[in-house]
Amino acid sequence: MYLAAGRSGPPSTVQAAPERPARRTRVASTVLALGAVSLVTDISSEMVTAVLPLYFVLQLGLNPLQFGFLDGLYNGVSAVVRLAGGHLADRRQRHRLVAGAGYALSAVCKLGLLFAGGSTTALSATLAADRVGKGVRTAPRDAMISLSCAERDLGRAFGVHRAMDTTGALLGPLAAFALLWLAVDAYDVVFLVSFCFGLFGVVLLYAFVPAHPSPAAATSRPSDLRAALRLPAVPAFRRVLVAASLLGLMSVGDGFLYLVLQKRLDLDTVYFPLLPLGSAAVYLLLAVPVGRAADRLGRRIPYLWGHLGLLGVYLVLFSPVPGWPLTVLVLVLLGTYYAATDGVLMALGGPVVPEKQRAAGLALLQSGQAVGRLLASVLFGAAWTLWSMQAALALAAAGLTATLLLARFLLPAHPTESA
């Protein structure tokens, strides 16, 4: 069908095109719009995440350990779904439609929680559907960001998007706690307000994000599955994919690092929910400056240096730094690591993937990194149990150092300055 439209392009995409050269110094409106969608959606999802344990145990009287197990299972499913979502978006060049479907599914799941009640089956199904929604939307969204602005501005674009996204992640739990304070035990209020935010995110997406992020993409031939699967054969992409997956394999999950922190400080349980908010605040502050620096220096540099932040976390947890300084150091280093690697990896990998396979390529990168991180936590846990906390940390630090040296050679020096 699109072939019949020929090179003239559908009229709906014309209006976005003339703005681009003139606005080069500013962040593309599509990026801001996607940032707003992510902000609102993250408020929606994080407010539910924050209260789910309380809801399961106190309101429904469920056994939370089983839900912990299910949660891990769903995270595995999410990687597979992400690849499918990426390819689907590429095939018809309908990134907005696929992302929108993912956002909408997750929004509806908030109502599902409301109606699932105490039924374990219904709750599991709702949570699984929510994960599917999240998996489906991520790659098309990042593809839209990377297609909506000039290559040289990619770092900043992702920085702006991730800063807005993290703002939502910060506000979500606070909003949920505030609602439960206003209306005691009213978990239905949390789910309903979360649904409203989720739905508003979908409205924002359809109102302000163009259907086709790149006018060229709208008219190009559809991508097929074989081409997407052959992506790792492209040398530049393969190098980024291997480096990201290997570094993921050396990246111990936050949950574990907070656990080490708690063990060392015997932190009061009241403050547990605040730890992720601390590193999110640092991420939020640094995302844009780091993104700009990435555009100037080349994305390889912040991406590699960002991992030094993670290495720093391993080392300070190992060191005799006491109490509050240790907590602050860990949160700052962890936030810096995320700011310098999360969006930057997309800016690093985006340009080496052909436009019409952008979503599938980014999905591969994200999944490679995610699977690596999952394995990293399993290995770290095994090392801790077999030997000791110190040994596990030392091992992780040594592994990360070696992988960083390897990644320095693997990553192309200027992958984005091909033009």
3-state SS assignment for residue 390: helix
State both tokens at 365: 């990168």
Q: Looking at beta carbons only, is 177 or 227 nearer to another protein?
A: 177
Q: Which of residues 97-116 bind another protein (CB under 8 A)?
A: none
Q: Looking at beta carbons only, is 227 or 267 nearer to another protein?
A: 267
Backbone angles phi, psi at 168, to 5 degrees: -65, -40
In the complex, the smallest distance separating the C-beta of residue 317 from another protein, rounded to whole angstroms, is: 13
- CA distances (Å), origin 411, targets 21, 140, 337, 347, 419: 30, 24, 18, 13, 18
Binding flag, residue 384, another protein (CB under 8 A): yes
State both tokens at 59: 């309101």
In the complex, the smallest distance separating the C-beta of residue 179 from another protein, rounded to whole angstroms, is: 6
From 111, 259, 281, 375, residue interacting with another protein (rule: CB under 8 A): 259
Phi-psi region of 61 (alpha: psi -120 to 50; beta: other; left: phi over 0): left
Binding flag, residue 270, another protein (CB under 8 A): yes
Binding flag, residue 263, another protein (CB under 8 A): yes
Q: Are 356 and 220 in contact (CB under 8 A)?
A: yes
In the complex, the smallest distance separating the C-beta of residue 289 from another protein, rounded to whole angstroms, is: 27
Alpha-carbon distance 278 to 407, whole Å? Answer: 29
Q: Looking at beta carbons only, is 51 or 88 nearer to another protein?
A: 51
Q: Looking at beta carbons only, is 225 or 323 nearer to another protein?
A: 323
| 69: Cα separation from own chain's centroid | 22
Residues 6+ apart with CB under 8 A from 406: 243, 246
Alpha-carbon distance 147 to 353, whole Å? Answer: 11
In the complex, the smallest distance separating the C-beta of residue 61 from another protein, rounded to whole angstroms, is: 6
Binding flag, residue 258, another protein (CB under 8 A): yes
Residue-wise burial string across 9-46, b where 16 or more C-beta atoms lie within 10 A, e elsewhere: beeebeebeeebeeeeeebbbbbbbbbbbbbbbbbbbb
From 17, 80, 92, 271, residue interacting with another protein (rule: CB under 8 A): 271
Q: Which of residues 272-301 bind another protein (CB under 8 A)?
A: 272-276
Q: Looking at beta carbons only, is 3 or 268 nearer to another protein?
A: 268
Burial class, 226, CB count within 10 angstroms (exposed 0-12 / middle 13-18 / buried 19+) = exposed
Q: Which of residues 211-230 bind another protein (CB under 8 A)?
A: 211
State both tokens at 37: 């969608």
In the complex, the smallest distance separating the C-beta of residue 108 from another protein, rounded to whole angstroms, is: 14
**Interface pattern 176-195 for another protein (x via CB under 8 A):** -xxxxxxxxxx-xx--xx--
In the complex, the smallest distance separating the C-beta of residue 212 from another protein, rounded to whole angstroms, is: 10
Binding flag, residue 19, another protein (CB under 8 A): no
Q: Looking at beta carbons only, is 140 or 302 nearer to another protein?
A: 140
Q: Looking at beta carbons only, is 283 or 303 nearer to another protein?
A: 283
Q: Which of residues 35-94 bind another protein (CB under 8 A)?
A: 53-54, 57-61, 63-72, 75
Enter the DSSP assignment of 213.
Answer: S
Residues 6+ apart with CB under 8 A from 178: none
Alpha-carbon distance 242 to 304, whole Å? Answer: 14
Scanning 150-158, 345-353, 377-385, 401-409 for contacts with another protein by CB under 8 A, the matching segment is 377-385
In the complex, the smallest distance separating the C-beta of residue 175 from another protein, rounded to whole angstroms, is: 10
In the complex, the smallest distance separating the C-beta of residue 376 from another protein, rounded to whole angstroms, is: 11
Q: Which of residues 115-134 bind another protein (CB under 8 A)?
A: 117-120
**Count of residues of this chain found to bind another protein when the rule CB under 8 A is applied:** 73
Scanning 151-159, 199-207, 236-244, 323-331 for contacts with another protein by CB under 8 A, the matching segment is 199-207
Helix (H) or strand (E) holding 336: helix 323-349
Alpha-carbon distance 104 to 89, whole Å? Answer: 16
Place of tokens 């960083």: 404
Q: Looking at beta carbons only, is 70 or 129 nearer to another protein?
A: 70
Binding flag, residue 200, another protein (CB under 8 A): yes
Phi-psi region of 185 (alpha: psi -120 to 50; beta: other; left: phi over 0): left
Q: Looking at beta carbons only, is 4 or 266 nearer to another protein?
A: 266
Binding flag, residue 18, another protein (CB under 8 A): no
Q: What angle is formed at CA 37 by the lines to CA 183 and CA 45, rounded to 5 degrees? A: 40
